[in-house]
Amino acid sequence: MPKSHGTGRFNKSDFKKLGDRVVFESGVLVFHPENISIGNDVYIGHQTILKGYYNSKLIIDDGTWIGQQCFFHGAGNLQIGKNVGIGPGVKIITSYHSEEGIIKPVLHSKILFEQVTVDDDSDLGVGSIVLPGVKIGKGVVVGAGAVVTKDVPDYAVVIGSPARIIKYRNQE
């Protein structure tokens, strides 16, 4: 059984893949674990929600650290790379309601799905939000509270709402 510092306990067999040395803190909620793959040495903070979906993939690769109270919505497929740091309160969303004019309430309009990818070695700051269809490149830094609405190239540093590039990290 995976280690927990609190009451969050899951059976390894519940998941599509569950690596070694995975920590689920207390209050972690997991939906559709049969479609969730988690690598080795992953930490998942208190009250985080991993919202898998019945016909999609939510993948968290080796060495990733996830702060408390995060929300990962995997309906449109979500891929998080190796050694990614994710601050408390980060939200990653992979679906949205289509715009069907005023014919019907937005709540009842068609739901569209778009994959989100966060490449290796990136860091998502506290309270940042990543919207459907976004690809965050390798080694990216997303500032606290940023709202990422479009792709971010490798080693960029982005801040704001909507997120904008302010510089590139030194790649030495």
Active site amino acids = 97
On the 0-12 / 13-18 / 19+ scale of CB atoms within 10 A, 49 is middle
Phi, psi angles (nearest 5°) of residue 108:
-100, 5
**β-strand 78-80 against 58-60: which pairing, if any?**
parallel
Look up residue 82 and give its DSSP letter: T
Phi, psi angles (nearest 5°) of residue 118:
-120, 110
Are the CB atoms for 81 and 122 separated by under 8 Å?
yes
Look up residue 30 and give its DSSP letter: E
Cα–Cα distance measured from residue 114 to residue 11, given in angstroms and rounded to the nearest whole number: 29
Cβ-based neighbours of 53, under 8 Å, separated by 6 or more:
31, 32, 35, 74, 75
Q: Omega before 33 cis (within 30°)? A: no
